[in-house]
Chains A and B, each alone.
Chain A
Amino acid sequence: MSEINIPLVTRVEGHGHVNIRLRDKEIEEVSFGMHEGARYFEAILVDRKWSEVPEIAARICGICTVIHAVGAAKAVENASPGFEAPETLEKLRKLLVYSSHIQSHILHLYFLAWPDYVGKESALAAVPEYRELVKKAFRMKGKANEMTEIIGGRMVHPCTVMPGSLTKSFDIDDLKRYRKRMADILEDLRMSAEIFAGLDYPETTVETEHLALHDGKEVPLDHGDMKTIAGPEFQPSDYLKYIRERVIPPNTTKRSYMDGKGFMVGALPRLNINHRFLREEVREFFSGFPSKNVHLNNLAQALESYHFGLEALDMVDEMIEGKELYSPPKEELRFDGSEGVSAVEAPRGILLHHYRIGKDGRVEFANIITPTAFNFEHIELALKEGLPQFADSPPEKIKFEAERIIRAYDPCISCSAHVVKVE
């Protein structure tokens, strides 16, 4: 018997490890663990004021910070009786989410995943051969970040997102500045879709379900019901009825299950469920949805980035044409002890925020389930599915393929507030 260990998975966000046991050139056991330090957000949020929730929740993760802030704001709004978000606020937040997703996808696609496909240790090491492409990747990410800053006030951890409002006014000039940047990178986003549609992906197909938001109109990121490819569609507030969390010894790692099985969330599930709503220009690059080959999550992210770019441009054009202005409301949210749940799509998949807020405006209860916590069980399933074909190969190759599978999910391990391993 021999063992292969990856003590620290590289080119992913956060700290994860893999342990593979081989016997007679067969893979006997694979386990994936996360050893991120615990930061206890759900406990920290209790007793904090409603207005602090997005600010604190954003610090769960620096990559998907925008969607944490927006998801938290929406959950708090849902706990405020009678509150309905004005349309312009929703649109501005959507623009913010679009730019943030593009930033996150480009970071993952070019800096975390792509080096595997060109045999490099990092995107920076690829610079001598691919200088122009790496520069373009930085440029797309940079412009997307600038758009995030225009609306959010800051690239990492936006400061304008409050439950019920954005803190500042927006005029046509702000919209135009956003528009210009998106227009600047649109061609490069198209090019990315083309590049990632042309890569040669390995095959690692896991047959269990995929879960994403669905509204029958678009690829929704900030609203909608939760839906699987074949199975039920349900309201986010019913998540406890469908999703079970379980602890499997010897780890005290919480894993998520539907119908007793691990499931996948992320760009691939989003498009498997919503590919009909992809823009025409995007669909021409790939017509193979639904697919359960986890490596295609990379492709799905590249397609989505172009799609979100096109959608954002149309929306911002409409707002400019309709002279849509925004100024923050005077009145503040009220609370009466109600609960609020929100389900949004983080770049890596469904993200749930759930709060109860007391009459005094302070949080009484908080539950947050992040996409990587949802995906945790599925990643292990994919390793079990994808590695046996390489069992004969040298350990370096097995390690490489294991990391490549994990990277396909674009895991965000800091996010997994829920997931900790006992030593």
Chain B
Amino acid sequence: MINIGIFSLSSCSGCLIEFLNLEETILDLLGFLDIKEAQILKTGTFDGVFDMVFIEGSPTNEHEVEKLRELRERSKMLVALGTCACYGGVQTMVGDVGVESAAKTQYGSVIPLKTIVPEGLGTYVDVDHMLYGCPFERSELLELVKSVIMKMDYRDREHSVCTECILRENRCLLDKGKPCMGPVTRGGCDARCPENWMYCTGCRGEYSDMNVESHRKKLREMGYSHEDILGMYNKYYRRLERE
């Protein structure tokens, strides 16, 4: 049996929910996985060593950083579950506003618990695997779990959402004037948004061979301003610095 734990830092819990959305498949997995701790699913905690922990969310305060370090210490394998855990997630947009001023906007004069600008788990600890997406794709979770059970390699996909659109013979949304992030976003979602006639907003983040310069140039030609482009790139995490 593989001991697992499922944990959550600052997040929307969407990735936990997506985990539970495996539905009955979870019952099959219970033959191989022993869920030792998962706050949303069961009472009780576990003090031993995990073979595998899944962590969603990103730390937004020092307590969460501590919790993350502690989990790393007693886990043989750490999986970043979803874009928050991989890169920081939508809450990184607070970086543009500044934590102090965000706290004022949100809470008025009383500033709560000292917040830090969120970053991916890799900033603080070693991460063994990343499951990209907001939320991650269940097919990739199953692939990873199977590879661990069967002691096989698991590899990230290094192609764009664009590639998946082409395979599906979708009409290009950039050509239709939409601000699509497909060319600079890691595939693996089967071009989920373009399939639904919605341009990709980049929730799975970057991949190795992307060409940011030509994508930006194209957006500029289409009439998007520098500000617009910064907003598009810096939504799920900070990908472009202000120049």
Chain A residues within 8 Å of B, Cβ to Cβ? 8, 10-15, 35-44, 46-49, 52, 55-56, 59-63, 65, 107, 111-112, 115, 121-125, 127, 134-135, 138-139, 141-142, 145, 153-157, 159-160, 162, 167-169, 247, 252, 254, 328, 403, 412, 414, 417-418, 420-423
Contact = CB atoms under 8 A, between A and B. Distances in A.
Contacts of B40: 10-13, 112
B109 to A, nearest CB: 9
A49 B179 CA distance: 12
Given A59-B90, A134-B27, A44 B97 contact: yes
Contact of A60 (B9, B12, B15, B44): B12
B91 A14 contact: no
Contacts of B20: 107, 111, 141
Considering the complex of A and B, which 7 residue pairs feature the smallest CB-CB distances, nearest first?
A: A62-B14, A37-B10, A122-B42, A153-B196, A43-B102, A37-B60, A420-B112
A37 B9 contact: yes
B30 A157 contact: no
A38 B21 contact: no
Given A10-B44, A63-B13, A157 B135 contact: yes
Contacts of B134: 59, 157
Interface string B1-42: 000000011111111111011011011001000010001111
24 contacts: A8-B39, A10-B40, A11-B41, A37-B113, A38-B61, A40-B115, A42-B105, A60-B12, A63-B17, A111-B20, A111-B41, A115-B43, A121-B42, A138-B26, A142-B21, A142-B24, A145-B21, A153-B192, A156-B21, A157-B134, A328-B197, A403-B43, A417-B106, A422-B110
A124 B35 contact: yes
Q: Which of A139, A159, A422 has the most CB of B within 10 A?
A: A159
Contact of A423 (B12, B45, B60, B113): B113
B193 A159 contact: yes
A62 B192 contact: no
Interface in B79-138: 89-91, 93-94, 96-97, 99, 101-103, 105-107, 110, 112-113, 115, 118, 134-135
Contacts of A107: 17, 20
A10 B26 CA distance: 20
A55 B41 CA distance: 27
A422 B21 contact: no
A135 B39 contact: no
Contacts of A159: 192-193, 196, 198
Contacts of A8: 39, 45
A423 B112 CA distance: 8
A43 B26 contact: no
Contact of A252 (B13, B26, B60, B112): B112
B60 A127 contact: no
Given A38-B103, A40-B91, A43-B101, A414 B13 contact: yes
B20 to A, nearest CB: 7
B39 A254 contact: no
Contacts of B21: 141-142, 145, 155-156
A421 B113 contact: yes
Q: Which of A39, A111, A412, A422 has the most CB of B within 10 A?
A: A39
A156 B17 contact: yes
Contacts of B91: 39-40, 44
Given A38-B112, A122-B42, A138 B94 contact: no
Given A40-B91, A138-B27, A121 B43 contact: yes
